[in-house]
Amino acid sequence: MKPKKMLIWLNWFYFLEINQYELYKRQQQESKDDYIKKVLDKFATIEKEHAKKIKKEITNLGGTPTKMGNGLGRLLGSTAGSLTSLTGTVNLFRINLTLERRAIKDYRRLIKYTDSKKLQKLLWSNLIEEDLHHSWFAHQKEELQDQIKSQHNITES
């Protein structure tokens, strides 16, 4: 892959990672649940690490990391409802799942397109962590949906 095309790819990941970092950080601040707060904080740290590693790759290739990312996290975090209710949390986790899925899909694509073993190693490492995030959000969303259902059942009976 030509360096110019690679830089476009890497800048896309940088954008995605920065936004995921901002999104989870914001959600962490808004959440009232201690466990969810801790997990989101941990995830935000991991996304920040991903962004850092991608940034390094960009500079190594002689590129400049574009900071166009700022804002999406804030926008998604504020328009989708707050983390103070179970339903709000489920909705936010849906957005997180979409972003994680997108990252997984694109990391897989770039791994195929690059011949650099070093870069592939980095991409795999990020991809596996996105996979773990995705699993956690998916599982947690189901748990919360069950809780919502049982609350409805209690109020109905």
Asked if residues 125 and 131 have their Cβ atoms less than 8 Å apart, the reply is no
DSSP H helices, 31-71, are 34-60
> What interhelical angle do 3-30 and 72-79 show, nearest 10?
40
Q: Residue 106 and residue 83: Cα distance in Å, rounded?
A: 28
Where does this chain touch Fe ion (CB under 5 A) — which range of 67-75, 82-90, 126-134, 144-152? 126-134
Where does this chain touch Fe ion (CB under 5 A) — which range of 7-15, 75-83, 85-93, 130-138? 130-138
Asked if residues 92 and 98 have their Cβ atoms less than 8 Å apart, the reply is no
Can residue 130 be called a binding residue for Fe ion (CB under 5 A)?
yes
Binding mask 12-51 for Fe ion (x = CB under 5 A): -----x-----------------------------x--x-
Identified binder of Fe ion from the candidate list 25, 26, 55, 133, rule CB under 5 A: 133
- Which residues bind to Fe ion, rule: CB under 5 A? 17, 47, 50, 130, 133
